[in-house]
């Protein structure tokens, strides 16, 4: 009985050591309660530092470190994978993040659950493609308005 308990304790210790050795939060320098934005910022900063093309570290070391960062970010930026990982390292987010719920409001596709890694869609910065799309939209609206006014003036119609 004592040997079985000692074996179980050793297995638990090995599991804990392997989890700590591969702790994504430690790798990114974050606490497990970090927000999606903090995770993204930490990843971007560290990926710039350890990218094999930009660092002064030996190529093999930089590649290994960069792959670890990518693996950590891929796990922590996906809500489902992050929840599974938190269970694996025995961290409970229930005490840390409790989204407020309006019980009198029915769940809709907008308030039921965020579809991205960001907790609130307004927190997400615009990507370069989205900014360019907005620019094209404004330019086309402005051009259409200008064209309508020019045609009205050429035809002699009153504005």
Give the torsion sign (CA, 115, 86, 25, 60).
negative
Q: Where are the domains of the chain?
A: 2-99+109-123, 126-159
| Chain centre to alpha carbon of residue 49 | 19
Specify whether the CB–CB gap between 39 and 28 falls below 8 A. yes
What lies within 8 Å, CB to CB, of 25 at 6+ separation is 31, 32, 34, 76
Q: What is the pTM of this model?
A: 0.46
- What string of pLDDT tens digits covers the 159 residues of the chain? 455 544 544 454 344 334 445 789 898 988 888 888 999 999 999 988 888 888 888 988 889 998 999 999 999 989 889 888 888 887 765 554 445 544 455 555 444 444 555 555 556 677 888 899 999 999 999 999 999 999 988 998 776
Contact 42, 28 (CB under 8 A): yes
> From 1.10.10.10, 1.10.240.10, 1.10.287.110, 3.40.50.720, which CATH number describes the 2-99+109-123 domain?
1.10.287.110
Q: 42-50: list long-range contacts, CB under 8 Å, 24+ apart.
A: 43/69, 43/72, 43/73, 43/77, 47/73
């Amino acid at each position: 009985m004592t040997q079985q308990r000692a074996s179980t304790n050793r297995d638990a210790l090995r599991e804990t050591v392997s989890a700590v050795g591969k702790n994504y939060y430690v790798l990114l320098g974050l606490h497990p309660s970090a927000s999606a934005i903090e995770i993204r910022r930490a990843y971007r900063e560290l990926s710039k530092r350890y990218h094999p093309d930009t660092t002064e570290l030996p190529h093999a070391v930089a590649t290994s470190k960069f792959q670890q960062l990518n693996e950590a970010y891929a796990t922590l930026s996906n809500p489902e994978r992050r929840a599974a990982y938190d269970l694996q390292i025995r961290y409970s987010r229930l005490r840390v993040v409790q989204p407020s719920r309006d019980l009198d409001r029915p769940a809709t596709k907008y308030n039921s659950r965020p579809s991205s890694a960001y907790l609130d869609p307004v927190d997400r910065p615009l990507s370069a493609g989205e900014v360019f799309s907005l620019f094209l939209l404004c330019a086309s609206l402005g051009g259409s308005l200008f064209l309508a006014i020019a045609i009205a003036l050429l035809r002699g119609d009153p504005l």
